[in-house]
């Protein structure tokens, strides 16, 4: 997912999130995935 801020027809800021899972992990809602023993 990409979000951009446009001012006067030019991109002034850009944010990107690869997947919803990545976002949830960054927010601490979902723990990072790893091997379980």
Where are the domains positioned within the chain?
1-31
Report the percent of the chain where pLDDT is more than 90: 41
| Residue 25 confidence (pLDDT) above 80 | yes
Length of the chain: 37
Q: How far apart are CA 12 and CA 33, in angstroms?
A: 34
β partners of residue 5 = 13
The per-residue pLDDT for 13 is: 96
Distance in angstroms between the alpha carbons of the first and the last residue of the chain: 33
The per-residue pLDDT for 9 is: 96
Q: Using one digit for the tens of pLDDT, what is the confidence trace for 2-15?
A: 899 999 999 999 98
């Amino acid at each position: 997912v990409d979000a951009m801020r446009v001012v006067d027809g030019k991109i002034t800021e850009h944010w990107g999130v690869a997947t919803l899972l990545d976002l949830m992990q960054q927010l601490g809602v979902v723990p990072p995935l790893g091997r379980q023993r």
